[in-house]
Amino acid sequence: MGRYLFQRLIATIVVLLGISLIVFFVIRITGNPVEAMLAGTEPTKQAIAALTHAMGLDKPLPEQYWIFLSNLLHGNFGRSLYSGQSVFNLVRTRFVATAMLAVAGLLIGIVISVPLGVLAALHKGSATDVGVRALSLLGISFPSFWLGIMLVLIFAVKIHVLPVAGYSSWKSIILPAVTLGAGQAGIMTGLIRSNMIDVLGEQYIQTARAKGLRGVAVVYLHGLRNAMLPVVTYLGLSLGTLLGGVVIIEQVFAWPGIGQLMITAIDQRDYPVVQGGAVILALFIVLSNLAVDLCYTLIDPRIKISS
C-alpha cells in the first residue's frame, strides 16, 4: 500500500506539472491581458508597455513559468490581474459552490438510480424493465439546459415554490441539482441494471438463496455490493468531471461556481486565475481517482491494491 501511494504521489506531481505547463502556454496564445484591460480606451504604446512591465508580462516566457511554478510550490497561486484578490481564495469560494452542486446532483442520481436499476434487473424483460430503461434513456437524452429552463418555468415562475436562480438559501440548490442528477441517474440506472443482472446469475447468489436468506438481503447485501464496483468508478470519474463541466447549468441558474469564474477569467485573459483554477481542478480530479481505487478494497475485500 505504501509503495502504491508513493507511486500515485509521483504520478500526481507529473500530471500537475504537465497541466500547469500546458495551461500556462496555451492561455498566452489568446493574447496580452493588458489589451483586454484597456479595451474601449485609446492607450498609448508607452502606457501599454508600462502596464505590461508592472505585471511582469514582458519577461521571457520560460522565466514567467519558472516564477509561476516557484510560487506554486510555496502554495502561492498569485493574484487576479483585475481584482487583485488571491487566486486561491477566489477559486476556493467558487470551488465550494460547484462541489456542493456536483455532490448534490450525484446524490440525487444515486437515490433515483439504485432502486430503479435493481428493480429493472429483478424484472428483466418485463414491462417494468422496459419502463425503467425508457426513463433512463429520457434522463440521458434531455439536454441539461432545456431541462433546467423547464424546471425554472414550472417550479419558480408558475408555482413559486423555489428560487429562480442565484444562491440565496438551501432551496437555491434544488433545481440545479435535480437538473444535474437527472442525467446522472439515467447513466447509473443502466450501469446498475446491467451489473445486477450479471451478479444475480453468479453461483454465490444461488448459494445464499439456498441457505434461506431473504430476497432483500441477497439482493442488497450480496448482489448490489458487487454490482456497485463499476458505478463507484463512474462516480469517481464523474465527480471530477462535473466540477469542470457544469458550466451550462451554472449559467442557466446563475450559480456562482468555478465554471463561471473560469469562463470570465479566460475571456479577460486573467492568467493567474486560469492557471490556478486549472491546477486546483486537476488536483481534485487526481485525488478523486485515488479515492475510487481505495474504495474498491472496502466494497470488495478480494481486491488488493498493489504496485
* CATH number of the CATH domain containing 158: 1.10.3720.10
Q: Quick one: how far is CA 256 from the chain centroid?
A: 15
Give the per-residue pLDDT at 229. Answer: 76
On whether residue 243 sits in a domain, the answer given is yes
Quick one: pLDDT at residue 133?
A: 92
How far are the Cα atoms of 59, 206, 301 from residue 62, in angstroms, in the given order? 8, 64, 48
Q: Is the model's pLDDT at 145 over the cut of 70? A: yes
Binning pLDDT at 50, 70 and 90, where does residue 232 land?
Answer: confident
79 domain-assigned: no
Q: Return the amino acid letter for 58.
A: D
Q: Is residue 164 a part of any domain in this protein?
A: yes
**pLDDT value, residue 241:** 67
pLDDT reading at 298 higher than 80: no
pLDDT value of position 154: 92
Q: Is the distance from CB of 120 to CB of 133 less than 8 angstroms?
A: yes
In a domain, 183, yes or no: yes
Q: Comparing C-alpha atoms, which of 215, 235, 224 is closest to residue 117? A: 224
Helix (H, G, I), strand (E, B) or coil at 269: coil
280-295 confidence digits (pLDDT tens): 888 888 887 777 777 7
To the nearest whole number, what is the mean pLDDT of the chain?
83
Q: Each residue of 175-192: pLDDT tens digit?
A: 999 998 888 898 899 888
Inform me whether the pLDDT recorded for 244 exceeds 70: no
Helices (H), the chain: 2-29, 33-37, 45-54, 61-73, 87-122, 127-141, 144-151, 174-200, 203-210, 215-217, 224-227, 229-245, 247-252, 258-268, 271-299
pLDDT for position 127: 92
Mean pLDDT of 25-42: 79
Using DSSP, state whether 39 is helix, strand or coil.
coil
Q: The C-alpha cell of 225 is what? A: 455490493
Q: Where residue 7 falls among pLDDT bands split at 50, 70, 90?
A: confident
- Domain range holding 249? 87-299
Res 112: pLDDT:
92
Least confident of 88-97, 123-132, 212-221: 212-221
Least confident residue range of 16-25, 50-59, 83-92: 50-59
pLDDT for position 304: 59
Give the 3-state secondary structure of residue 59.
coil
What pLDDT, on the 0 to 100 scale, is given for residue 202? 77
Read off the pLDDT of residues 61-118 as tens digits, 9 standing for 90 and up. 889 899 888 988 888 888 888 888 889 998 888 888 888 888 898 899 999 998 999 8
Confidence band for 300, pLDDT divided at 50, 70 and 90: low
Domain count, the chain: 1
**Confidence at residue 206, expressed as pLDDT on a 0 to 100 scale:** 73
The answer to whether residue 220 sits within a structural domain is yes
Overall average pLDDT of the 15-21 stretch: 89
Of the listed ranges 106-115, 234-243, 251-260, 296-305, the one predicted with least confidence: 296-305
Is 51 inside a domain boundary?
no
User: Would the pLDDT of 32 be above 90?
Assistant: no
Q: Residue 32 falls within a domain, yes or no? A: no
Distance CA 178, CA 268 (A): 31
Q: Is the pLDDT of residue 151 over 60?
A: yes
**Is 25 domain-assigned?**
no
For residue 1, pLDDT beyond 80: no
Question: Any residues with CB less than 8 A from the CB of 252 and at least 6 apart, and which?
Answer: 144, 145, 148, 149, 152, 165, 176, 179
Give pLDDT, residue 301.
58
pLDDT at 306 over 60: no
Whether the pLDDT of residue 303 is over 60: the answer is no
